[in-house]
Amino acid sequence: AQSVTQLDSHVSVSEGTPVLLRCNYSSSYSPSLFWYVQHPNKGLQLLLKYTSAATLVKGINGFEAEFKKSETSFHLTKPSAHMSDAAEYFCVVSEPAAGNKLTFGGGTRVLVKP
Amino acid sequence: GAGVSQTPSNKVTEKGKYVELRCDPISGHTALYWYRQSLGQGPEFLIYFQGTGAADDSGLPNDRFFAVRPEGSVSTLKIQRTERGDSAVYLCATKRGQGKSDTQYFGPGTRLTVL
Give me the residue spans of the domains in chain B: 29-98
Rounded to the nearest angstrom, the gap between the alpha carbon of residue A106 and the centroid of all alpha carbons in its chain is 11
Contacts of A42 in chain B (CB under 8 A): 108
* In contact, B1 and B27? CB cutoff 8 Å: yes
Segment B39-58 shows an average pLDDT of 92
Greater confidence (B53 vs A108) lies with A108
- pLDDT tens-digit map of A81-112: 999 999 999 999 987 777 788 999 999 999 99
A73 CB near a chain B CB, below 8 Å?
A: no
Residue A74 scores a pLDDT above 90? yes
- Least CB-CB distance to A51: which of B33, B100, B105? B100
* In contact, B39 and B109? CB cutoff 8 Å: no
Query: E-strand spans in chain B?
Result: 5-7, 10-13, 19-24, 31-37, 44-50, 53-56, 65-68, 75-79, 88-95, 105-106, 110-114
A106 CB near a chain B CB, below 8 Å?
A: yes
**B97/A14 Cα distance (integer angstroms):** 41
Task: Write the CA distances from B81 to A38, B53, B89, B95, B105, integer angstroms.
Answer: 30, 24, 18, 31, 30
Q: Does B100 sit within 8 Å of A94, measured CB to CB?
A: yes
Q: Does A101 sit within 8 Å of B33, measured CB to CB?
A: yes
Amino acid A113: pLDDT: 96
Q: What are phi and psi of A98, to 5 degrees?
A: -105, 25
Measured at the CA of B46, the angle between CA B42 and CA B52, to 5 degrees, comes to 140
pLDDT band at B96 (very low <50, low <70, confident <90, very high): confident
* Domain B29-98: which CATH number of 3.90.1650.10, 1.10.3730.10, 3.40.50.300, 2.60.40.10: 2.60.40.10
Contacts of A90 in chain B (CB under 8 A): 42-43
Amino acid A95: pLDDT: 77
Residue A14 scores a pLDDT above 60? yes
Q: Does B56 sit within 8 Å of A102, measured CB to CB?
A: no
- Least CB-CB distance to B101: which of A51, A102, A107? A51
Q: What are phi and psi of B36, to 5 degrees?
A: -125, 135
A40 CB near a chain B CB, below 8 Å?
A: no
Segment A48-77 shows an average pLDDT of 92
Q: Which fold has domain A3-113?
A: Immunoglobulin-like (2.60.40)
When the pLDDT of each residue in chain A is averaged and rounded to a whole number, the result is 92
**Cis-peptide, bond into residue B108, ω within 30° of zero:** no
**B93/B108 Cα distance (integer angstroms):** 9
B103 CB near a chain A CB, below 8 Å?
A: yes
- Between A51-55, B69-73, B89-93, B103-107, the lowest mean confidence (pLDDT) is in A51-55
Amino acid B1: pLDDT: 57
Residue B47 scores a pLDDT above 60? yes
